[in-house]
Amino acid sequence: MPQISLADLNAAGKADFVAALANVVEHSPWTAEKLAEQRPFAGIVQLHTALMAAIQSAEPDVQLALIRAHPDLANKTQRAAGLTAESADEQNSAGLDRLSDAEYAAFERVNNAYREKFGFPYIVCVRRHTRDSILHDFETRLRNIAKTETRRAIEEIGRISALRLDQLVIAEDRLKVHGRLSTHVLDNHAGKPAPGIALELVELAKLGEDRVIARAATNADGRTDQPLIGGRPLPIGRYELKFSIGKYYAERGVQTPDPPFLDEIPLRFAISEPEGHYHVPLLVTPWSYATYRGS
Amino acid sequence: MPQISLADLNAAGKADFVAALANVVEHSPWTAEKLAEQRPFAGIVQLHTALMAAIQSAEPDVQLALIRAHPDLANKTQRAAGLTAESADEQNSAGLDRLSDAEYAAFERVNNAYREKFGFPYIVCVRRHTRDSILHDFETRLRNIAKTETRRAIEEIGRISALRLDQLVIAEDRLKVHGRLSTHVLDNHAGKPAPGIALELVELAKLGEDRVIARAATNADGRTDQPLIGGRPLPIGRYELKFSIGKYYAERGVQTPDPPFLDEIPLRFAISEPEGHYHVPLLVTPWSYATYRGS
Amino acid sequence: MPQISLADLNAAGKADFVAALANVVEHSPWTAEKLAEQRPFAGIVQLHTALMAAIQSAEPDVQLALIRAHPDLANKTQRAAGLTAESADEQNSAGLDRLSDAEYAAFERVNNAYREKFGFPYIVCVRRHTRDSILHDFETRLRNIAKTETRRAIEEIGRISALRLDQLVIAEDRLKVHGRLSTHVLDNHAGKPAPGIALELVELAKLGEDRVIARAATNADGRTDQPLIGGRPLPIGRYELKFSIGKYYAERGVQTPDPPFLDEIPLRFAISEPEGHYHVPLLVTPWSYATYRGS
Amino acid sequence: MPQISLADLNAAGKADFVAALANVVEHSPWTAEKLAEQRPFAGIVQLHTALMAAIQSAEPDVQLALIRAHPDLANKTQRAAGLTAESADEQNSAGLDRLSDAEYAAFERVNNAYREKFGFPYIVCVRRHTRDSILHDFETRLRNIAKTETRRAIEEIGRISALRLDQLVIAEDRLKVHGRLSTHVLDNHAGKPAPGIALELVELAKLGEDRVIARAATNADGRTDQPLIGGRPLPIGRYELKFSIGKYYAERGVQTPDPPFLDEIPLRFAISEPEGHYHVPLLVTPWSYATYRGS
């Protein structure tokens, strides 16, 4: 995606400024127009704060129009008709383009129920979610009153626009929109980090298929060269991190029975803070293991 | 199954003695006949030792006939034609009557390959195995020479007959044919055993369906009232023990995020010693857990 | 110490009954006289309950006399003059006959302050305490009002008499006056209990010398044949349990550096429930260890 | 201490070069003279390699003179007479200026025994040692033959000179002469790093007094701002790292008994690799703790 510097945004003509930020808020260029007059912005945090102030101070009918400008989630007809590139990317990142039949049916059911109750589409920052957590959020929010949901929708628009700004605008400061998931394997049998351990991160799903979302091997320090998830929000959801321990000890000539007591070790945990740092290490011997939320 | 005391066996007429032990070795009453002359037996271990000595000292052609008197594993035609009740029970205990298509095909393939190479059926004490470990054993033994496999077949007949004797004969001593799998949940957040935790033991399978083989809840001491597996050999194989931890902490009012970092915790391990004691405890907080092979 | 059965106590003449129980409450045979009339007792718990009821329903001046019949703790003059055998044993069990100078001074100071404030001696069931916890209890109780301390003194007399009854009277039921401290060493490097590990239990003291109060070695199951403390209350206090791990791994030929990363491992913990069960296990490899309050 | 850049050393006149490196090898300026001719050096590692080559290729009598130019360890007469500043600093760093009587006697005994057997002083790079490990090394080396000890002495001169060069010369590359000891406290009760925990690192001594060698408090990430030992070799020896856990939980309002099950937690471990990284974390709840050699 093309990027633009904050300095260039500050210096641009109004039309160019509005064009650059046109898709930060779905189908709502008026928001960019309001910001144009407030330039220059000292940083991206200030820019995003101003954007949210503009939305929050808009008249209720303008806010409602803004909310209604958003597409339904996982709506096949709308997908065919064309989403903005941003919306399509975001929905695909959560796997909404590859739903199981049961998931598709569940999404359709809650979409309809939500529209029927509130008269506007359910909005959520999908990059912060998995399929399961969207359905859970959906069902929780269906119980709210309309006023609460208007506020929640604007909150989510705030998160969506923050992520879009983060990808679009190069500035010296950063919006706090990324999380990090990391691991570390310590071999307590040898008293050393465990290198060369194959591992797999799986996103668990109640209604659909579990998805492998990362594969890696530990390096000389027992860590992965890259975070398992980084440079983006951590999708709220349940995960399983699997480590091939049997192979590791077999290759080192450690005597183990056949089959080995521990072979593939699954650590199952959930993420609830998309902007947090989750460190999920494994302390292991051929006969024991431990994990914890670390830092 | 009817049982008989060792004293009664020692005192019985020869015909009754042979009838009582007729099925201890598949379709081979001559083994019981040999034993009849050696009475009285001081214990069941001595009885079983004498049985094995009788088999081991038999002529090669008699041994071969004994081996050939055994059915194939998981052979549908033979099942229809009728196995001994003992064989059927044993095969069913390992789930051989509920194989997936892939498993059935695998068993048929190795059965045929084995018969073709050695000219006699593959014999294994199925109560000491899962579907996966039988297939693994099969493939390992297919690489042996015939002489080794004759010896291995007799070894397995020894294990099968020991288990059948253990179920049939009441004596003061015991054959060492049982293992034990137990667990214990310690709540390191509260410094106490964790009561009321629902748990499930699953037998994992590569080619077929995983099977839940035990369900229980922890008692006031954090243990289960009964061993997860006891009073029988532990089937060699891979297992997953699942603990409902999220529910436990929620019920105790411990603050956790939504979704909780830990909810259902799976411990995955393998059993390789059917007559061993496996203690697989869980040390847990809402943010950490550990397990090890205990005692 | 001579023991007597509850049946014999129930059947005894009044004088014999009173003589048998004369020292259950320090220098206060009237308590036994009251009990004599209430016989027969169905059990030792009922007997002790009746004793406490007798004391609690006595007139305030009688209660005060009862309290005043008790000796000061760690008072050298009184020791020379002669305590009851029971008092002397109890005080010695907590090491009050072997105080350091600093401890002796501290005891004298709080004894005097207590007597001065309340007009009666400080009473505590010393078998439930260490030197440190008595001094801590002393200082806490010095802040109470007299009425509270009268109640506390009677509570402690209840605990003292329960322990004396437990040692004196043989009955079918038991007073809940004992605790238990146990340990277990699991070798997570080998996946087995760790036998033959020398260990030492030390009572820590702030003002005086630390005291080794138990020495043992682990058996084949990694446990000690006897509890580290059992058959008595666990003295409230701070402890260190030391395990000779370096020697254990050296003897098994496990490669470790010189000096080994782990050699003598100290687990430091406190006991606050004298009648509780404290299980303090050690999970160990040459490079890691863990402990927890178990069960 | 004044420092000099490698570039300046390379460019210096011979006399200045020799003067600058005069004390890198105790009382042996000839070593610097040999190096002067080999300039320029591309890095400090190359410089040190050349120094060791010069010593190793010297005639045996020159090597012996070099060894004899070194002082005895912990020799009071020599201290009074004056060591080089470098030697004095090094000996003081290991506490050799503050020995207990028992330690002083032990050092004198082994010094004399060593001199008597080999005819030259015992040389060791004291910055890599504690009092205990020097005595242990002394006794081990006393069993060697003279030829081995000549080689060992030169090895130790190599380590001493590497450390002196490291402190004296500024270059782009670094000699691998430093180790690092770090810790990290994870609160598994709260699922977070534990900030504000007071901790103390104690060097343990068999014959003399234990010495507190570092005090710190954990920061917001549960780590210490500086390594517990860093920027120098880690002295081989036994240590205890103590954490004030009771206070930490009390301040957070976590309910614990009086006294708390865990209060001050000691982790006892040994260092055997002076140039290694030792990470010794604490995973803790009010009821459990674990440690391991991490990375």
Residues of chain C in contact with residue B295, where contact means CB-CB under 8 angstroms, are 186, 192-193, 221-222
Q: Closest residue of C to B191, CA-based? A: C293
- Which entry of C70, C136, C178, C277 is annotated as an active-site residue? C70
Domain residue limits at A55: 4-170
SS3 label, residue D226: coil
- For residue D211, the distance in angstroms to the closest alpha carbon of chain A comes to 27
Mean pLDDT of A48-59: 96
Residues of chain B in contact with residue A265, where contact means CB-CB under 8 angstroms, are 268
Q: What is the pLDDT of residue C74?
A: 67
Q: What is the pLDDT of residue C79?
A: 63
Q: pLDDT tens digit string along B167-223?
A: 999 999 999 999 999 999 999 999 999 999 999 999 999 988 999 999 999 999 999
- CA-nearest of A49, A26, A28 to A38 is A49
- Alpha-carbon distance C108 to C72, whole Å? 9
Q: Closest residue of C to D283, CA-based? A: C290
Q: Is the pLDDT score of C76 beyond 80?
A: no
Does residue A182 contact residue A225 with C-beta atoms inside 8 Å? Answer: no
D214 assigned to some structural domain: yes
Q: Is the pLDDT score of A230 beyond 90?
A: yes
SS3 label, residue C266: strand
**pLDDT, greater one: D91 or A159:** A159
Tokens 């271990």 correspond to: B45
Q: Is the pLDDT score of D76 beyond 70?
A: no
Q: What is the pLDDT of residue B110?
A: 87
Q: How far is CA B264 from CA A119, B219, B242, B285, C24, in A?
A: 37, 18, 6, 13, 54
B231 assigned to some structural domain: yes
Q: Is the pLDDT score of A209 beyond 70?
A: yes
| D10 & D151 share domain | yes
Q: Is the pLDDT score of B77 beyond 90?
A: no
Q: What is the pLDDT of residue C151?
A: 96
CATH number of the domain encompassing residue B263: 2.60.40.180
Residues of chain A in contact with residue C292, where contact means CB-CB under 8 angstroms, are none
- Alpha-carbon distance C147 to B273, whole Å? 65
Q: Is the pLDDT score of B228 beyond 80?
A: yes
B184 as an active site residue: the answer is no
Q: What is the pLDDT of residue C22?
A: 87
Angle at the Cα of C264 from the Cα atoms of D133 and C131, rounded to 5 degrees: 115
Q: What is the pLDDT of residue B95?
A: 79
Q: Tell me which of C136, C170, C204 is where a domain ends.
A: C170
| D134 & D225 share domain | no
Neighbours of D290 (CB within 10 A): 26
Q: Is the pLDDT score of D118 beyond 90?
A: yes
DSSP structure string for C23-67: TTSTT-HHHHHHHHTTPPPSSHHHHHHHHHHHHHTS-HHHHHHHH
A295 assigned to some structural domain: no
B295 assigned to some structural domain: no
Q: What is the pLDDT of residue B35?
A: 95
Residues of chain A in contact with residue D182, where contact means CB-CB under 8 angstroms, are none
Q: Which of A193, A290, A292 sits opposite D295 (nearest CB)?
A: A193
Q: Tell me which of D108, D142, D170 is where a domain ends.
A: D170
Q: Calculate what percentage of chain A has a pLDDT beyond 70.
A: 97
Q: What is the pLDDT of residue B251?
A: 96
- Alpha-carbon distance A243 to D191, whole Å? 22
B184 assigned to some structural domain: yes
Mean pLDDT of A94-98: 80
| C119 & C213 share domain | no
Q: What is the pLDDT of residue A1?
A: 64
Inter-chain contacts counted by CB atoms under 8 A, chains A and B: 77
| A41 & A148 share domain | yes
Cβ contact, residue pair D288, B283, below 8 Å: yes
| D222 & D191 share domain | yes
**pLDDT, greater one: A101 or D164:** D164
SS3 label, residue C5: strand
Mean pLDDT of chain B: 93
Tokens 């998981």 correspond to: B74
Which pLDDT band holds residue C81 (cuts at 50, 70, 90)?
A: low
Q: Is the pLDDT score of B281 beyond 80?
A: yes
Which pLDDT band holds residue D66 (cuts at 50, 70, 90)?
A: very high
Which pLDDT band holds residue B90 (cuts at 50, 70, 90)?
A: confident
| A187 & A154 share domain | no
**In total, how many domains does chain C have?**
2
C164 assigned to some structural domain: yes
| B166 & B23 share domain | yes
Mean pLDDT of chain D: 93
DSSP structure string for C124-157: --GGGB-HHHHHHHHHHHHTS-HHHHHHHHHHHH
| C186 & C286 share domain | yes
**pLDDT, greater one: D216 or A27:** D216
| D189 & D236 share domain | yes
| D52 & D134 share domain | yes
Q: Calculate what percentage of chain D has a pLDDT beyond 90.
A: 81
CATH number of the domain encompassing residue D132: 1.10.3330.10
Instruction: Return the residue in B263, B285, B291 with the most chain D beta carbons within 10 A, the one to mutate for interface testing.
Output: B285
Q: Is the pLDDT score of B104 beyond 90?
A: no
Q: What is the pLDDT of residue B106?
A: 87
Does residue B164 contact residue B173 with C-beta atoms inside 8 Å? Answer: no
Residues of chain D in contact with residue C273, where contact means CB-CB under 8 angstroms, are 257
Mean pLDDT of C52-71: 94
Mean pLDDT of A128-135: 94
Which residues of chain A are at the D interface, by a Cβ-Cβ cutoff of 8 Å? Answer: 184, 186, 188, 191-193, 221-222, 283, 290, 292-295
| C111 & C146 share domain | yes
Q: Is the pLDDT score of A79 beyond 70?
A: no
Which pLDDT band holds residue D125 (cuts at 50, 70, 90)?
A: very high
Does residue C171 contact residue C220 with C-beta atoms inside 8 Å? Answer: no
Which pLDDT band holds residue C110 (cuts at 50, 70, 90)?
A: confident
- Alpha-carbon distance A234 to A229, whole Å? 7
Q: Is the pLDDT score of C14 beyond 80?
A: yes
Q: What is the pLDDT of residue A13?
A: 95
Q: In what order do the strands lie in the sheet with D179-182?
A: D229-232, D179-182, D277-279
| A26 & A115 share domain | yes
D206 assigned to some structural domain: yes
C295 assigned to some structural domain: no
**pLDDT, greater one: D123 or A80:** D123
Residue A235: both structure tokens together: 């999708």
SS3 label, residue D242: strand
Mean pLDDT of chain A: 93
Q: Tell me which of C170, C187, C211 is where a domain ends.
A: C170
Cβ contact, residue pair C186, B283, below 8 Å: no
Q: What is the ipTM of this complex?
A: 0.93
Q: Is the pLDDT score of C226 beyond 80?
A: yes
Task: List B193's β-bridge partners, or say none.
Answer: B186
